[in-house]
Structure formats: C-alpha cells, structure tokens
Structure 1
Amino acid sequence: MNIENIEAFIYVCQLGSINKAAEALYLTQPSVSARIQSLEKELDLKLFDRQRNKLSLTEKGEQFYPHAKKILHSYQEAKHSLKQTMIPYELTIGCASSISNNLLPNILPALKEKYENLKVKIVTGHSKDVVQKVINNQVDFGIVRTETHPQIESIPIFSDPIGLFVPTHHPLASLDNINMKELEEQPFIFFDYGSFDWLMLHRLFQKNNITPNISIEVDHMETAKNLVLQGMGLSFLPHHCVRNEVEQGTLKQISIDPSINFNINIEFIYKKGKSKSVFIDQLKQFFHELN
C-alpha cells in the first residue's frame, strides 16, 4: 500500500477539499486526485462521494479514515525510530589538536558522505584529555594518538612515519644525509614529554651514545612545528603535521644515518559498553574501510 496515497487521503479528509490538500502537500490538484483514485483502486472501494463542488466521505471512507491515520502514524514513528537508532542527532568527536588540524579535513568529508544528515561537533585537546572525555561521556568517541586505558576500546585508523624536519633556510637543509653524531650540538624541540614517541626518540639517541640538546619541550606538536618554522631548533614530527609546510617549501625533512623507522599511530576510541552501540558498530566499519 502506497503511503503517499494514504497521506493524500488523510489531508483531503482533514481539509475538506482536494484543492486545499494539494496546497498543503505542495502538489498539483490532479496529482492529489490521482493518488486518491489509486488508493480507491487498490482498496476496491469508493472513499468519496463527489457531487458538483462538494466532496464527502462514503460510509466505507469513514470506516477507513481512522485506520489510515494509524497506518501513517506507525510509518512516521518507525521511520523516526530507525533514524534515531542508526544516526544520532549530533555526534561529538574528541580529537587531538594536530589531528583536528591535519587529518579531520580528510576524514570528515567521507563521514558526512556516508551519513549526510549527521551533525558533527569537534572538541579538541591533548590525546590524554580526549581519553578522559570519552570515559566521562563528554564526547561520543575520540580520534587520538595511541593511548591505552581499561575503559576504552580502540581501532587503529592511521599510521604516520616520524621524520626530522628543519626550516629550508637551515644549514642542514642542504645536506642529503646526516650522521646522528652531527645532531649532538643541534638544539632540539621535543613535544609530549613522557609519551611513547618521546621515549622511542630518546632510546634512539641513547643507542648512538648521544645526549640530545633539548632546547625546548612543548606539549603539542603544532607548537613544536611553529617553533621549527621560527628557526628555534630541529624537531621530530609526524608527516601529517608538516605536509602543507613541506609542499609550500618552508620545511624540509633530513635523512639520518642510521635511518629511523618510527610511526605515530592514530586510533578511533570509544568507551566500552557504549550505549550508541549500533552506530558505534557502523563507525568501526567505516574506519576499518577508511584504513
């Protein structure tokens, strides 16, 4: 049974004329008449008496009217319920600052294309802060550098190599390759003290019997990148953080001997037992496909 035909029937009943129903439904009068005729044909009964300019329900039409309202109401209720189950009205994403600046512009268009009616709110902060927001239900899920916590689940979505970057006017920028020993006197800008990435870099220096000259420590890689651009020192940074600057020719990666093979891993995280489990399952699939 065509729900549009039932809707047209109800509007004609409530407004008392096909012309008024057509105006309310933003249809032409012939379109509404055709829907009523189609419904009468499907039911194999006459719903309206048509006498000159007057339109009145037949006895069968009066009997069908309350059923039609129930059918339309049930359809609208089911449609609304399914939308609420599959897509929340607004999704709040907690996101590390560098990811928000550099990766979200690539992720969000694909997410919006898949869920076109989805409203998205972005909350930025340090990865550890985002984890706490996920646990405290302040955001629906997070996109962060690898963080572990017994109350969160995670899915790897992106792995980005770390390289050593200098401004293009730096003396080292003209070299094709540099030995680790030559870095000993260079001022370094390190970000995120105590993180796994930070520890891996320190082990690299220790392995080569080098004590790095850490001139500045910051808690955000975006800050580290901007300080490098200002000529304040060298920094190990993930490629996604410096992609634009490399393309614009303001930063350059230096090849190191021995070469390094470190990656920053970006993960989609959510709280265990998340209430929006149906949508979480869809997002998990989305990020698996994206990866």
Structure 2
Amino acid sequence: MNWNQLQYVITIAEEKSITKAAQKLYISQPSLSLSIQALEKETGIPLFERNRGEMKLTYAGSLFYEWAISTLHSHTQLEWKLGDIVSGSRTLIRLGLSPHRSERLLVKESFVLAIPDSLCPFSDPSQKEEDISATPQIHLPALSAIPFILLSEDHDLGKISRKICETAAFHPNIRCICTSSNTAFSLARRGMGATFLPEIYARTTSFPNIHFFTPDHFHDTRDICAVYRKNIYHHAQFQALLALLHEIVPAIYRAA
C-alpha cells in the first residue's frame, strides 16, 4: 500500500468511474485498475462494486475511503510542519476577511451614514470628521426628505441598514437598491442619495463632497474577523500574517 493508492481510491469514489478517475489522475485506465486490484488483494476484501456502470464503494470501501482522506490529510500536515523546519521555505496563503465570528476577532466595526453635500441638511464643515469618535450624530427622522440608497436585503449591510431604520422608527425614501457598498458609495458621491456604510469608509476615505454621521440611536457593531480552517497546521508564515493583521487592522480603526 502506498500514498498513490490512497488517492486512487478517493478519486474513484468521488468520480464514480475508473475512466474519469484515470483522466483526473493522469494515468492509464489499465494501470489504475491493476493498482486497485492489488490493493483489494492486499486488504483481502473488495473496495468497489459496479452498479449500472458506476463504481460504488462497498461498506469496507467506505471505511477505507474515510481512513484514506484522514491519512492523506495527516500526511499533508506533516509535510507542512517539516517544511517549516527548512530554512527559507515559502508558502502560499489565501487570505479572506469577513464580518462574521471566526477564529480570530480583529475589531468591532460600527456604521455611518454618508450624505452628499447637495443633500446634507447641515452646512457646518466642522461636522465632517474622519475620526469615528468625533463623527457627529444624526437623527434619522429628520431626513425624511432625503433619498436613500440601500443595499439589497440578502446583503449583510442591507440587513443592518434596515435594522438601523427600524430602530429609529424611520421609513427611508428609497431611491435605489444596490448589491455592493462600493456601488452605493459611488452613487452617494454623485449626489444620488444618502447611504449606510461600514465605518471604515469614514476612516480611510477623504472626499470633500461627502459628510459622515453616526445614527444617534443605534450602537450595534459587527465583528471583523480573520477566517481560516480549523484542524490544520498553521505554519510560521501563517502565524506571522495573523499577528500582523491583529496589529494593523485595529490600528486602522483607531486612527484619527
């Protein structure tokens, strides 16, 4: 038994075909069949049965399949750990940030209302602040005459925007509904309407024609987290990246 045979069983089980599995594994069909036959002879029990042209796992095959997945996973983890010992090793890291609970909470984020100059009921330029702690509060019912740009209800920020309005007993005059916060912000900059945004927009953007406000009645936040798989070995580069994110992301939100 070898590592290749474990992968052969997994691929045949997933493809349900010797032919398709051989194509995916880049080996000949006869070679794959002979390898499986040798494995079945070694284990002393059939791992597959043919059913109307499909290769299906037997009960023993199902047990072997689960064991093969676990074993190859452990083998991969071991390779990563050993690779960390090698000087100068490099690893590809796929990074994602999500406003949901996960392995590492980075920061709690609030929300702001972006209003273009042409629609803003306040003319005092001192009310435009990039520091969220200094961003002036606003009473939503006072904005009944202003058109709003909201995100769709299946979007996380779309749900939050509607909750903000509901909490204030405010019924916004909706001009349009978007599918992304970037689109909503772009329309707001063009004077199309006011829109709710994550506070990061107020901290990292500087547009002279946009005022940012915080709703005076809504103080909920959402968690901004680094998301990564459980039960895998976290190599040195990955740990360094997490530490860097944990340091930099909160600093962005604290920055004045």
The normalised TM-score by structure 1 is 0.45
1:269: Cα distance to partner? 0.8
1:156 matched to 2:116: no
Q: Tell me which amino acid in the other structure corresponds to 1:213.
A: N
8 Å Cα contact 1:165-1:237 kept in structure 2: yes
From 258, 272, 285, the counterpart of 2:243 = 285
8 Å Cα contact 1:197-1:264 kept in structure 2: no
8 Å Cα contact 1:193-1:217 kept in structure 2: no
- Structure with a larger share of its residues in strand: 1
1:208: Cα distance to partner? 3.1
Aligned-partner Cα distance in 1 for 2:118–2:173:
20
Q: Tell me which amino acid in the other structure corresponds to 1:287.
A: L
Q: 1:79 to 1:241 in 2, by over 3 A?
A: closer
1:81 matched to 2:86: yes
Q: Tell me which amino acid in the other structure corresponds to 1:169.
A: S
1:253 matched to 2:212: yes
Q: Which residue of 2 aligns with 1:98?
A: none
Q: Tell me which amino acid in the other structure corresponds to 1:154.
A: E
From 163, 168, 192, the counterpart of 1:203 = 163
1:188: Cα distance to partner? 1.2
8 Å Cα contact 1:222-1:241 kept in structure 2: no
CA distances 1:233-279 after superposition (whole Å, capped 9, x unpaired): 1011123224454x3412112354x3432434321111222355443
Aligned-partner Cα distance in 2 for 1:283–1:259:
37
SS in 1 for 2:218: coil
Q: Count how many residue pairs are aligned between Structure 1 and Structure 2.
A: 157
Give ranges in structure 1 of 5+ residues lacking alignment: 1-77, 92-139
What does residue range 205-244 of structure 1 map to in structure 2 within 5 Å?
205-243=165-203
Q: Tell me which amino acid in the other structure corresponds to 2:201.
A: C
Q: Tell me which amino acid in the other structure corresponds to 2:143.
A: L
SS in 2 for 1:181: helix
Q: 1:249 to 1:158 in 2, by over 3 A?
A: same
8 Å Cα contact 1:173-1:252 kept in structure 2: no
Q: Tell me which amino acid in the other structure corresponds to 1:141.
A: L
Q: 1:216 to 1:255 in 2, by over 3 A?
A: same
Highest Rg: 1 or 2? 1
What does residue range 96-115 of structure 1 map to in structure 2 within 5 Å?
none
8 Å Cα contact 1:159-1:263 kept in structure 2: yes
SS in 2 for 1:231: coil
1:195: Cα distance to partner? 4.1
From 169, 177, 180, the counterpart of 2:140 = 180
1:205: Cα distance to partner? 2.2
8 Å Cα contact 1:221-1:241 kept in structure 2: no
RMSD: 3.2
Aligned-partner Cα distance in 1 for 2:229–2:120:
48
1:79: Cα distance to partner? 9.6
8 Å Cα contact 2:103-2:227 kept in structure 1: yes
Q: 1:154 to 1:217 in 2, by over 3 A?
A: farther
